[in-house]
A and B are shown apart, each in its own frame.
Chain A
Amino acid sequence: MALALALLAPPAAASMPIAHSTPSPPGANVVTVPAAVAPPTEVRASDRPNDNGGAVILDWQLSADDRPQHGLVTGYEILRAPAPAGPYRLLGRVEPGTSHFVDIFAGRGKPFYYQVAALAGTTRGPARPVGPAVATAQWFNHRRLNMLAFAVLLAAAILFGIRSARRGALPRLRELPGVGAVEAAIALARERNRPVLFITGSEDLNDIQTLAGLSVLKEVAGRTAAEDVPLRVPHMHSLVMTAAGDTLEEGRAAAGKPAPVDPDENFYLCDEQFGLVAGAGGIMYRERPAACFYFGSFYAEALALGEIGQTVGAVQIAGTGQASQLPFLLATCDHVLIGEELFAASALLSRDPAQLGCVRGQDLVKLLAIGLIGLGCLLATLAQVTGWGPLIPAWDTLRSLFRTG
Chain B
Amino acid sequence: MSLVAAVPRGIVLVVAIVLIVAMFVPPLEPLREEFSLFFNIIAAFAFVLGGASLIGRHARKIRRRASGYGYSVVCIGAFGITLAAGLLKLGNPTGIGGDVTARGSVFAWIVRYVFGPADSGLFALLAFFIASAAFRAFRVRNRESTIMLVTAFLLLLGRTFLGGLVTSWLPDRLEAFELPNVIPWIMSVPLKAGSRAILIGVAVGAIATSLRIILGIDRPYRGEGK
* Given A300-B126, A355-B212, also A144-B24 (CB < 8 A): yes
Report if A307 contacts B (CB, 8 A).
yes
Known A52-B27, A140-B25, A339-B198; judge A365-B204 contact (CB<8 A).
Answer: yes
Q: Write out, one digit per residue, whether chain A residues 300-327 have a CB within 8 A of any chain B CB (1) or not (0).
A: 1001101100100000000001010010
* A267 and B226 alpha carbons, distance in the complex (Å): 27
Within 8 Å of chain B (Cβ to Cβ): is A381? no
Q: What is the total of A-B residue contacts with beta carbons within 8 Å?
A: 197
Docked CA distance A141–B22 (Å) = 10
Contact status A4-B41, CB under 8 Å? yes
* Distance (whole angstroms) from the CB of A206 to the closest CB of chain B: 5
Considering the complex, give the chain B residue whose CB is closest to the CB of A5. Answer: B37
Q: How large is the interface on B (under 10, 10 to 19, 20 to 34, 35 or more residues)?
A: 35 or more
How far apart sit A318 and B132, CA to CA, in the bound complex (Å)?
19
Give the residues in chain B near A403, CB-CB below 8 Å: none
* Structural contact, A218 and B198, CB atoms closer than 8 A: no
Of the candidates B36, B37, B54, which one forms a contact with A269 in the assembled complex, judged by CB atoms under 8 Å apart?
B54
Count chain B CB atoms within 10 A of each CB in A148, A159, A209, A340 and give the residue with the most: A340
**A250 with B199: in contact, given A154-B204, A238-B53 (CB under 8 Å)?**
no
Specify which chain A residues have a CB less than 8 angstroms from the CB of B40 in the assembled complex.
Answer: 1, 4
Interface size class of A (residues with CB under 8 A): 35 or more
- B198 to A323, Cβ gap below 8 A? yes
- Does A51 reach chain B (CB closer than 8 Å)? yes
Check B137–A155 contact: CB distance below 8 A.
Answer: no
Chain A nearest Cβ from B49, distance in angstroms: 5
Do the beta carbons of A274 and B122 come within 8 Å of each other?
A: yes
B binding-site residues for A, Cβ under 8 Å: 20, 23-27, 29-30, 33-34, 36-37, 39-43, 46-51, 53-54, 56-57, 60, 67-68, 118-119, 122-123, 125-126, 129-130, 132-134, 136-138, 194-195, 198-202, 204-213, 215, 217-220, 222, 225-226
Q: Which residues in A have some Cβ–Cβ distance to B below 8 Å?
A: 1, 3-4, 7, 50-53, 137-141, 144, 147-148, 151, 154-155, 158-159, 162, 204-206, 208-209, 211-212, 214-215, 218, 235, 237-239, 241-242, 246-247, 250, 253-254, 263-264, 267-272, 274, 277-278, 286, 300, 303-304, 306-307, 310, 321, 323, 326, 328, 330-332, 338-340, 342-344, 346, 352, 354-355, 358-359, 361-362, 365-366, 369
